[in-house]
Structure 1
Amino acid sequence: MKVKVCGMTDLHTVLTAIQYGADAIGFVFAESKRRITVKKAKEIIQQLPAGILKVGVFVNEEKEQIEKIIEQSGINVVQLHGDETPQFCSYFTVPVIKAISIETEKDIAEIEEYKCDYILLDSPKGKYRGGNGIVFNWDLLKKCQLRGRNIILAGGLTSENVVSGIKLVNPYMVDVSSGVETDGKKDPEKINNFIKAVKEYKREDIKC
C-alpha cells in the first residue's frame, strides 16, 4: 500500500516522511494555508530520490501555468483538485490525479468520465479543495464500481482510521495532510504513526 503525504512545505519534514516510507509528496500551488512557492518546491524536489512521486496540486489553474510550474519546479505528477473537465485532464504529458469530492452516488458515477492515471476520492469541498480533515461516507463505495482504477483515498484520514478505510475501499494509495498535523504543522511522530499503520496492514483480497 502506497502513501502520499500532502501539503509539505519544508525539506526536513519531507525527508523525514520519505525515511518513514512515504511514496509520494504533495506540494500545494493553489490557495491554501499549505501553499508553497514554486521556488521553494524546486529547492526541495532537487534533493529528493528519483523514485518518489512529486505531486503538484492545482485548483482550476490554466494549463499554461501548470505546464510552467512542471518545468520550473520538477514535479512529475499533476493533481487537479478543482472543476477540471475530462478533456482538460488529458492535456498533460505527466501522470494526472483527478480529485473527486464524494457526497452522493452521483459523484462516484462521475469518475467514469475521467480516464486519468489516478482518481483521488476526497471529502466534500470546505474552505479549501482538500485538506479539510473531514471523512466522507465510505459506505458509498461498497458496490465496488472502482475496480481496475488506481484509486487514492483521501479526506480526514488519520493513523486511527486509515486501516478501516483501506479495508472498505481497497485503494491503490492513501493520502494524508491534516491528519498528520499538530496545530496546523506537519508532526513527524504523526507522520510516522500514519505510515506505519498503512505499511503494517496486510491487505486481503477483496471479491466484488
Structure 2
Amino acid sequence: MQIIRSIQNRIYEIRGERVMLDFDLAALYEVETRVLNQAVKRNSKRFPADFMFQLTLEEFDRLKPQIEAVNRGSQGLMNMSSQSVITYSGKRPRSAPPYTFTEQGIAMLSGILNSDKAIQMNIAIMRAFVEIRRIVLQQSDMRDQLRQIQQRISEHDVQLSSIYDAIENLLDEKAAQRKWNERERIGF
C-alpha cells in the first residue's frame, strides 16, 4: 500500500491529463531514464500523442516545486520489500524536458519493458490510477450532495423568511388588537 501511495504522489495533472514523468517511471522500473526513452523511441508507433507527450520548459519549471516536494516526502521511504523508489533528484540537469505518459501510455510501456520488476511496477501503477479515479468519483459524489444540501438550505431560507413574515404580521395584528382593546372608551 505504501508503494501505491508513493506512486500516487508521482501522478501529476498536466494539460488536463493525469500523467507520470519518464524519470519517475524509469526509477520505478529500475532502469535508466535514457534506456526507458530509447525503448519508447524504438516503439514510437505504440505511443500516440494522447499516450505520451513531452513537457514544455515552462510546464517543467512549474512542475519542479511539486517534484521536489514529492522527493523530500519520499526521503524517508526505505527499500519496500525490494521495491526501491528512486526519483529525479535535480542534481543532473536535463538537456530536454521530460516525457510524460498517460495511463494508457504506461499500460503500453508494459508491452515493451518485459522484466519482472517492470511487470510488478506496472500492476502497482495501474492500481494507483484506479485508486485515484475512485477518490475523484467519491469527491464528485460529495460535491453533488453538497450542492443538493445548499439547494435545500436556500429553499428552507425562503420558507423560514415566509414564516418570519407571517409571524410579524400576526404580531402586528395582535398589537393592533391590543391597542384597540386598551383604547380609552368614549361613551357608554
| TM-score normalized with structure 2 length | 0.26
| TM-score normalized with structure 1 length | 0.24
Q: Which has the higher contact order (CA 8 A, sep 6+)?
A: 2
Instruction: Name the structure where helix makes up a greater proportion of residues.
Output: 2
Larger Rg over CA atoms:
2
Instruction: Name the structure where strand makes up a greater proportion of residues.
Output: 1
